[in-house]
Amino acid sequence: MGKPVIATASLAGCFGCHMSILDIDERILRLVELVEFNKSPIDDIKRFTKPADIGLIEGGCSNSENVAVLRDFRKNCRVLVSLGECAVMGGLPALRNSIPLKECLEEAYLNSPTVDPGERVIPNDEDLPVILDKVYPCHEVVKIDCFLPGCPPSADLIWEALTAIIEGRPLNLAYDLIKFD
Amino acid sequence: MSEIRFTIDGRPCVARAGQTIVEAAKANGVWIPVLCHYEGLKPVGSCRICTVRVAGRYMAACTQPVTEGMAVENTAPDLEDMRKSLIEMLFVEGNHFCPSCEKSGNCELQALAYRYRMMVPRFPYLWPGRALDARAPRLMLERNRCIQCLRCVRGIRAKDGRKVFAAVERGPRVTIEIDQRLAAGLSDAEARRAMDICPVGAILRKETGFAVPIGKRKYDGAPIGSDVEKGAGR
Ligand code: SF4
């Protein structure tokens, strides 16, 4: 049997969770021995070339492209993990969720003091992903198997979760591993 | 005064007449989670986090007095899961963005979620739209985080005894309002007390925030309730 395969994606997130993956310090050398990375911004593999054992999702779903990527991950990953507050509950992008989308777009593209008066237009090019009415946590779009909260989740929590999933054991969640900030 | 003998999860405990289950448990080094209850205020039993089971019946331990021979169930798995589900409901019912909240690390709702290992709420998010009120000179009311515990309503009064906070409407529409005139007269110490009495980050003092670094905040190191379990509350 080959090494377990990991894939990662950043949807409506800030890449902080991916930085936290790298924050596992020298354990990254062990991780490289332990697993093989497939589709991920870390190695810039754009498409799945084989099914993955673990998919790590950073960020919630804010637009149609996020949904498509998330569904692709669900199809290709055995265990799908919501990594960080944005994937788990929408995070700061979801601050817009109690404001109508039209108001948000008008504020950002028409009325904001930094908009060039000659450029007051809400982007609607057909090549742009369609923005959703709300930012959705990943588990409200596809089935998620494991949740790692935190903004970002600590490197220790990520390490614990990855090794637990690889070894097929339950997560050992010490008190200070669970943080929402 | 005669002692009352009772048990919590089979463990023999003693109480004084008139003590509530929460108080008596604490005196015996047993923690029962509370949220709408605040020491020194008259308990109202509205949040139900403290629900225990006695003779098959569910009751709010913060309002229920202990009686002789009572056998209290506190940590049965189904009770603990029900409490966890209440915490989860509070998270989806409001807009709780912990990463950007000044109360994070000192928040009782968050601390309960940590203690109960809430990795994600089991209910869909509701994303209510609630208005923020920042008119008072020293205070801000961020209703998106309010859990309607009414601790501020019960605990914060002006010098003449009038209530500074009030609950308007009922049920899912209940909203906290501030008496602006009374709030304008609050001293800095009273504003601090209002922020402390609020279990979440709904009442905030202005012009200060994030004063305590991460790692040194109230619930960074030890779970909520561990002081009671160590017997420090005696
Ligand atoms: S503002 Fe705070 S103290 Fe007042 S009801 Fe809301 S959560 Fe409770």
For residue B172, what pLDDT band results from cuts at 50, 70 and 90?
confident
Would the pLDDT of B234 be above 50?
no
3-state secondary structure (DSSP) of residue B172 = helix
For residue B233, what pLDDT band results from cuts at 50, 70 and 90?
very low
ipTM, two decimals, is: 0.94
CATH architecture label of B4-74: Roll (3.10)
Residues of chain B with CATH 3.10.20.740: 4-74
Q: Given an 8 Å threshold on Cβ–Cβ distance, is A176 in contact with B220?
A: yes
Ligand 1, atom 6, lies closest to the CA of B146
Cα B76 to averaged position of ligand 1 atoms, centre (Å): 29
As a whole number, mean pLDDT of residues B34-63 equals: 97
Q: Given an 8 Å threshold on Cβ–Cβ distance, is B98 in contact with A85?
A: yes
Q: Contact A59/A30 with Cβ under 8 angstroms? A: no
Out of B105, B127, B223, the one facing A175 most closely (by C-beta) is B223
Find the Cα–Cα–Cα–Cα dihedral B129, B133, B139, B144, rounded to 10°. 0
Predicted TM-score (pTM) of this structure: 0.95
User: CA-nearest residue of chain B to A137?
Assistant: B125
- Give dist(CA B164, CA B151) in Å, integer: 12
CB pairs under 8 A between A and B: 68
Smallest CA–CA separation between B63 and chain A, in Å? 30
**Residue B121 with chain A: CB contacts under 8 Å:** 89
Q: What pLDDT was estimated at residue A1? A: 64
Residue showing tokens 């050398």: A29
Q: What pLDDT was estimated at residue A118? A: 86
Cα B50 to averaged position of ligand 1 atoms, centre (Å): 18
Show me where the domains of chain A are located: 5-96+134-178
Q: Identify the DSSP state of B202.
A: S
Would the pLDDT of B18 be above 50?
yes
CB burial class (10 A; 0-12, 13-18, 19+) of residue B101? buried
CATH architecture label of A5-96+134-178: 3-Layer(aba) Sandwich (3.40)
Would the pLDDT of B1 be above 80?
no
Q: Which atom of ligand 1 is nearest to the CA of B155?
A: 3
Q: Contact B218/B111 with Cβ under 8 angstroms? A: yes
Q: Given an 8 Å threshold on Cβ–Cβ distance, is B97 in contact with A91?
A: yes
Q: Contact B17/B2 with Cβ under 8 angstroms? A: yes
